Structure 1
């Protein structure tokens, strides 16, 4: 199974012009973000990706009051850009269960229609804002897939996700895409994953991500997609009074890319050795 690492354009607030060359030169397989702000740029954006030999993961962000219509309109536009997959911020945390079930039923029908995998992100403010709420929906829809961004659960639940928890375990099984951001109890983003004081949290998250990889590998998936997603302020902490960022986001995300890629290779080597015993 091949690991494909994507560059999030969130770091640059979605600006892609002048960024694709740097992304390709740094070894990323593609970029992830919503389609261009101006739909008139869609063809230019797709052509630029092809010229740089970069793939695309599209994001959609549903909005009320009609989340189903919002989802459909955005997904159909994203599908025209030929993404490898679509990652969706889906529905809302305040929606009653029956409305959420109706939303995800429609989402699965649209996914089948377009023939592109759709991962519904575990995200604050969305239907999948906690592991237990996520698991309740997953049990109703066996075909539903997740985009794993467990850092949000650190903020909502004020604790680290536990792979031994049955709800978290189910979420790991259903994840097809990973957002590589590390949270801490009470917050969605540590200031710098390279700092020794955060290594416990970094290792905990990498273990969760590798669990997803092992399950996808066992299921025969040909690829695993991973997007380092340390983001700008207010996720990125700023120094008081000066407003200066505490770290360099480009360097942090590149470090997360290279670190997880190395751990992934080690996992594959260890699994090969175990199978030979």
Structure 2
């Protein structure tokens, strides 16, 4: 029997949101942006994927360049997921990521909503993941852990930056903080790559003062990759999206300009993610 690790692959995507400039727009046409991403060695892109015309254009261009797609959507109801499932089924995607645009006050409300999405997701042959994100159903780390206790089959897309800044997790994290982040990672089936500190959601990873935070996130990402590889039910590929967003995520100077080159840092993060994957021991 071949080693299970031979069927488990790793892909790195670039966020189209991260390609926007300080004014929040793409500085060149979509085809040029996708070509730049493909030529830089990314495996795919992450973008909104719920409007038929935009999805058709994106899928056509991405396919011509050999790029896969992580589709993002922001449903507010159970039924709000269905149109995106139809579009993704028609045009193809690596997976869909839900940023659940609801903020229920009770666990019961959230469980009902997510159970509905899980039932709909059973119709398709690609993963449907729920992103850990502020101002979403997964806004709070503890609330999300409570959801996982009620819904242990819930598949997350881990953007850990939101929990670090949202809960002001210190450096180094406490043992309890570490256990809680590892619990999120054990239920994660993809990653959005961004480094936060206790007060800022996105810090420049090339600056020397942020290297301890980069090391912490690298440790967490490696843990999540290793855990994914060890799951007996896993098939397919694990995705990591470089998601270094424009302002106000990106920190700016007094003139509103980025204080770092986010594209160059995306390339740095791409290479880092692949090294972390290679560091994981084969199963």
TM-score range, shorter chain: 0.7 to 0.9
* Aligned mate of 1:213, from 221, 225, 228: 225
Following the alignment from structure 2 to structure 1, what is the Cα–Cα distance between the partners of residues 154 and 251? 34
Following the alignment from structure 2 to structure 1, what is the Cα–Cα distance between the partners of residues 55 and 169? 40
Gaps of 5+ in 2: 1-7
Match of 1:42 in 2: 55
Match of 2:5 in 1: none
Match of 1:175 in 2: 188
3-state SS in 2 of match to 1:19: helix
CA contact (8 A) 1:158 1:187 kept: no
Following the alignment from structure 1 to structure 2, what is the Cα–Cα distance between the partners of residues 162 and 70? 38
**Cα pair distance change 1:20/1:197, threshold 3 Å:** same
Match of 2:10 in 1: 3
Shift of 1:41: 3.8
Q: Which has the higher contact order (CA 8 A, sep 6+)?
A: 2
User: After the TM superposition, which of the residue ranges 13-22 and 143-152 deviates more from structure 2?
Assistant: 13-22
**Cα pair distance change 1:94/1:41, threshold 3 Å:** closer
Following the alignment from structure 2 to structure 1, what is the Cα–Cα distance between the partners of residues 175 and 125? 31
Shift of 1:163: 7.2
Give CA deviations for 1:26-70 in whole Å, capped at 9, x if unaligned. Answer: 11001111127x63243332221111111111011124xxx2232
Match of 1:139 in 2: 149
User: After the TM superposition, which of the residue ranges 251-260 and 216-225 deviates more from structure 2?
Assistant: 216-225
Match of 1:188 in 2: 201
Following the alignment from structure 2 to structure 1, what is the Cα–Cα distance between the partners of residues 195 and 264? 15
3-state SS in 2 of match to 1:143: coil
CA contact (8 A) 1:35 1:59 kept: yes
Match of 2:4 in 1: none
CA contact (8 A) 2:75 2:101 kept: yes
Gaps of 5+ in 1: none
Shift of 1:162: 5.8
Give CA deviations for 1:170-220 in whole Å, capped at 9, x if unaligned. Answer: 211100001110010022111x10111111100100111111111111115
Following the alignment from structure 1 to structure 2, what is the Cα–Cα distance between the partners of residues 51 and 68? 33
2:39 counterpart of 1:25: yes
2:68 counterpart of 1:68: no
Following the alignment from structure 1 to structure 2, what is the Cα–Cα distance between the partners of residues 44 and 120? 25
Give CA deviations for 1:123-166 in whole Å, capped at 9, x if unaligned. Answer: 00011112211111111112110000010112210115667544
User: After the TM superposition, which of the residue ranges 72-81 and 158-167 deviates more from structure 2?
Assistant: 158-167
* Aligned mate of 1:197, from 195, 206, 209: 209
3-state SS in 2 of match to 1:7: strand
Match of 1:245 in 2: 258
**Cα pair distance change 1:91/1:97, threshold 3 Å:** farther
Following the alignment from structure 1 to structure 2, what is the Cα–Cα distance between the partners of residues 163 and 250? 34
3-state SS in 2 of match to 1:113: coil
2:169 counterpart of 1:159: yes
